[in-house]
């Protein structure tokens, strides 16, 4: 479990994190999404006890990151966004080195390392030099490294960045496996749809502030008042445009470039308001063939949530 309370980090006069509050329950896969520079890595560095907050605090499995960093480190596995690999090591030696640094006994490491290599699909590379691995393989090795002490909480900073689609799918499958193992996972990305697929809960950070949090559907609902409606007309398109222009809840009317009898517009209102709008249009003899709500695209939602928040 992770609890973040009023966490603030200033770099000089610049506020990178601004009173962040967040609770992530045990066993949850939490997606932390935000543009470049939003404050994700800063949050992760504080949770991983590598950076001191300016004020506020955070707890990992009940341990305070500022007061009990050694205990926190036992419970947390951290995969940074940039990591060095010791290139003179072979894959197996690399994991053995990290296992030894966590004081895992030799016999235990002998059993553990093959299991970890199997989990991240690198068994066939155990004797390869680390610097000769592909980027995706290095990412998976780094993930295995962060798991060596069997932490309950995992902090993964953009684990899928720079990976090709196949490597992304492999990474997603590993995360699914880790979730089944009951780990609490906090994972960042600036690509909302990618996170939405693998996370239970999402948090959107912008300018160091948490601007939305909840299940994917809940985040979508937060924006439901701003739906886009699409209308296919049989005829009299210009008259229909004039009709909708007079409705206060309608804005940004666009005529489709591909089909000239299709218009779309933003509509602010509930489902009932939408029904009433359709009834009124039909009563006014607007020649509607179809009337539909466009599916909200997750990327649009992300842009909408983070728009104008500084």
Ligand X SMILES: Nc1ncnc2c1ncn2[C@@H]1O[C@H](COP(=O)(O)OP(=O)(O)OP(=O)(O)O)[C@@H](O)[C@H]1O
Site residues (vs ligand X, CB under 6 A): 11, 14, 16, 34, 36-42, 81, 190
**Contacts with 263 (C-beta within 8 Å, 6 or more apart), sequence order:** 230, 231, 233, 237, 240, 241, 244, 253, 254, 255, 256
DSSP letters, 199-211, are -SEEEEEETTEEE
Nearer to ligand X, 37 or 162 (CB): 37
At closest approach, how far in Å is the CB of 86 from ligand X? Answer: 23
Nearer to ligand X, 11 or 102 (CB): 11
Nearer to ligand X, 10 or 230 (CB): 10
At closest approach, how far in Å is the CB of 84 from ligand X? Answer: 17
Nearer to ligand X, 18 or 152 (CB): 18
Nearer to ligand X, 34 or 269 (CB): 34
d(CA 241, CA 191): 35
At closest approach, how far in Å is the CB of 152 from ligand X? Answer: 23
Nearer to ligand X, 17 or 174 (CB): 17
d(CA 38, CA 57): 19
**What is the bridge-based pairing of β-strands 184-189 and 153-156?**
parallel
Closest CA to 159 of 150, 168, 151: 168
Nearer to ligand X, 99 or 208 (CB): 208
At closest approach, how far in Å is the CB of 20 from ligand X? Answer: 11
At closest approach, how far in Å is the CB of 187 from ligand X? Answer: 13
Bridge partners (DSSP) of residue 228 are: 266
d(CA 260, CA 290): 14
Q: Can you give the C-alpha Rg of the chain in angstroms? A: 25
At closest approach, how far in Å is the CB of 31 from ligand X? Answer: 13
At closest approach, how far in Å is the CB of 57 from ligand X? Answer: 17
d(CA 43, CA 158): 13
Fill in the DSSP letter of residue 129: B
Total residue count of the chain as it appears in this document: 310
């Amino acid at each position: 479990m992770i609890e973040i309370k009023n966490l603030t980090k200033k770099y000089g006069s610049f506020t990178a994190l601004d009173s962040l509050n967040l609770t992530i329950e045990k066993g949850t896969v939490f997606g932390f999404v935000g543009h470049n520079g939003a404050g994700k890595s800063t949050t992760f560095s504080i949770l991983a006890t590598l950076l001191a907050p300016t004020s506020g605090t955070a707890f990992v499995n009940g341990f305070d990151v500022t007061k009990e960093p050694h205990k926190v480190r036992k419970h947390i596995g951290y995969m940074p966004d940039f990591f060095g690999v010791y290139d003179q090591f072979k894959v197996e030696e690399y994991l053995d080195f990290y296992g030894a640094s966590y004081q895992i006994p030799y016999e235990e490491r002998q059993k553990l390392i093959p299991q970890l290599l199997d989990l991240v699909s690198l068994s066939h590379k155990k004797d390869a030099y680390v610097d000769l691995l592909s980027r995706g393989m290095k990412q998976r090795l780094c993930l295995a490294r962060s798991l060596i002490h069997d932490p309950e909480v995992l902090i993964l900073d953009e684990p899928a960045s720079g990976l090709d689609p196949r490597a992304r799918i492999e990474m997603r499958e590993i995360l699914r496996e880790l979730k089944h193992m009951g780990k609490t996972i906090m994972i960042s990305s600036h690509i909302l749809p990618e996170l939405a697929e693998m996370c239970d809960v999402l948090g959107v950070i912008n300018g160091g502030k948490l601007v939305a949090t909840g299940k994917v559907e809940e985040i979508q609902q937060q924006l439901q008042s701003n739906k886009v409606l699409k209308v296919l007309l049989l005829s009299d398109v210009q008259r229909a445009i004039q009709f909708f222009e007079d409705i206060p809840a309608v804005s940004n009317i666009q005529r489709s470039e591909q089909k000239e009898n299709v218009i779309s517009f933003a509509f602010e209102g509930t489902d009932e308001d939408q029904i009433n709008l359709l009834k009124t249009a039909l009563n006014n003899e607007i020649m509607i063939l179809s009337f539909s709500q466009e599916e909200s695209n997750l990327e649009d939602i992300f842009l909408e949530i983070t728009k104008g928040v500084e």
